[in-house]
Amino acid sequence: MRCENYCPRCGEPGESVTHAIFECPPALQAWSLSSTPTSPNLFPVSSVYTNMDYLFWRKNIVIEQEQDRDPYPWIIWYIWKARNDKIFRGIDRDPLELVRYPESECQAWFDANEVPQPVIHENNTEEPEVLSLGNICLLDGSWTSAAHFSGCGWLMGTKIITRRESALHSELEALRWAMKNMLQHSTCQSFGTDCKDLIAMIKEPHA
């Protein structure tokens, strides 16, 4: 079976990789629209090795290596994809499209690989505030209207008691139990609870 080897975009006989990527008129137009520096008899030329040598090394004479964000790898890929679209799908790609989309892909790649610099706040002498519980006995009470029992808990244990009249009563029972035990085992006189009503009742017993 004989296959005709010609360029599907310009009809050039004997299509090669060099022709498809660097010499075909749509490819040439794409390179001229790109940010890659081009020059007659320097780039692009009829040798794929010379072209790749230029893209890899020699163009850095024109562009500082640290500032080199040339999207040529993406441009090569999309030129080749455009060639395949013409063969297999009959689609002609706009050369400007072949440049702008690779450029956006290239920019997205560099942005994704940038390491964010830490923000340094000058003259920030404030020390972070650290909460210290110190010698505090933490306690809690549990209560639900549908249960037959209430619960008490403190630093050293938990217990179940007959259901009290309200959640506040359960919290008060937990405090009473914790204070009774702490008097036997420690000199701690500080207790912590998350029940605002219990705290208010202790601070203002006659309110």
What is the domain partition of the chain in residue ranges? 17-112, 137-203
Ordered per-residue pLDDT tens for the chain, 207 residues: 445 678 888 888 878 888 999 999 999 999 989 888 888 788 888 899 988 888 888 766 655 665 667 888 899 999 999 989 988 988 898 989 889 988 888 888 888 888 777 777 666 556 655 555 556 777 788 878 777 778 888 767 777 778 788 888 888 888 887 787 777 766 666 777 878 888 888 788 776
Instruction: For the sheet with 149-154, list strands across it.
Output: 157-162, 149-154, 137-142, 191-192
> Quick check: 39 and 62 in contact, CB under 8 A?
no
- Find tokens 């690989």 and name the residue: 113
**pTM greater than 0.85:** no
